Structure 1
Amino acid sequence: MKRLFVALMTASTLWTGIGMAQASVVIGGTRVVYPSEDREVSVQLQNAGDTPSLVQAWVDSGNPDVSPDESQAPFVIQPPISRIEPDQGQVLRISYTGAANLPNDRESVFWLNVLDVPPNPESMEGEAPQNFLQLAIRSRIKLFYRPEGLEGSARQAAEQVEWTLSGGNVLRAHNTSAYHVTMTQLTLANGINVPISAGEGMLEPNETRTFELPGNAHGSIRELRMTTINDYGARVEQDVTLSR
């Protein structure tokens, strides 16, 4: 598996033929929730293209550069490698191995990787061109391991984020819940968006994070509209009152 991963991720020969490979396998969802009481969870893949695809799947603990064999994430996937025909699907079965001593008072987050490898391109004569670019495209979504009996609920977690305004230009968010809260947008009452840098949109349980207000945010700032993503991948908006 490691050799396959490395070979696919480092292929870089030029294709001067008639097109370029594109990802065709899609994941049925934008996140995976693994309740600790379940023996396994299933993820549906679908090949929406018109050619077969070779798919490799694995879970990592947060480092996107770790190969499948080097990953220390306590999950196994069956099948780890599969061929999906055009307009066909494949079910991935993810099982928790119990190898890691995960906390039982809060969620833990991991990442599901799906590497989609298209077949070699063919020229107009039905043969692969001598020089081509083979693109293996990886999709990576969050996997939340959710212990049984956590206080509150994932649906109410966003409401448990405490917001304070300090120094007049810094927002501080503290997640008091046992669940991860993923934010996609923060908007002040006057319509100004607060920048969220890449990787800063997810608040872990009991995490505190700060956001600097843009220079054009002026006047009395008392309310904030927060947009989050729920377990089903839907965006949810709610108004938040700021404290000082």
Structure 2
Amino acid sequence: MHVLQRVEESIAPFFFSLHDLDYLLILVAAEALGLPLVPPYLGLSEKERQEIRTGINYGSGSAGILPETGTILGPNLSLDTQLKLFTETVQKYLSNTFKGPNELSDHFSKSIFYINIGSNDFIYTYLNEPDLSNPRYKPTVLSNDLTERLSQNLQALYMLGARKFVVANLGLIGCIPYIVNRRKPKGVCVEELNQFVEVYNSKLIELLKGQSSTLPGSTFVTLKSYELSTLMASEESMTQGPVVLMLAMDPCHAPPT
């Protein structure tokens, strides 16, 4: 989760692989708007946290919506933990930085809350090809669990003052080099995993529509990572146009199994 506080002043950094093509979109948007990068929350000193008036990056590379996601690689900040850190920021630091609740609310009204999370939940769930006859591994069950938890977090952010949300859907995780090398699909990608992601993305659309109608004054925008990555991964896009893309299928890093 990244809080881009005061849109005209700051933007959060993003550290994703090139398979997360929304990374490119964010950088282009930042450059177009003239927004500087903002620091990761855990990298700020106590003094810096007390004086912060720009956006903050709460993101954690291996984390997911589920608390246990990615912990095989070591401790991380799940979405619940990121929300707790933002709550701490509001109550402990920003409440002293601004003159009162009205000024803080006005500040948040000019802020964008960018949320890009969920891919790791699918990656680590299906990495070792679990038994899909087990209900807990059915994509509809996982998608329902993830969107329900995400909904709770979005509502909590709203209660803290968030009003403008940009939420990324999930990209082509079945085309991630490590997964392709591990699964050895007949085609270029593991299409089964991409189909699982489509189930989640459909539920995400329903979720965001529901949030818009039930949370007064809120705005939800979907960053279409899946559609963009599908377009960019097409043969025509990779071989034509001003930029020629090359897909490297050798993973630079692989999680332990």
More strand, by proportion? 1
Structure of higher CA gyration radius: 1
More helix, by proportion? 2
TM-score, normalised on structure 2?
A: 0.24
TM-score, normalised on structure 1?
A: 0.25
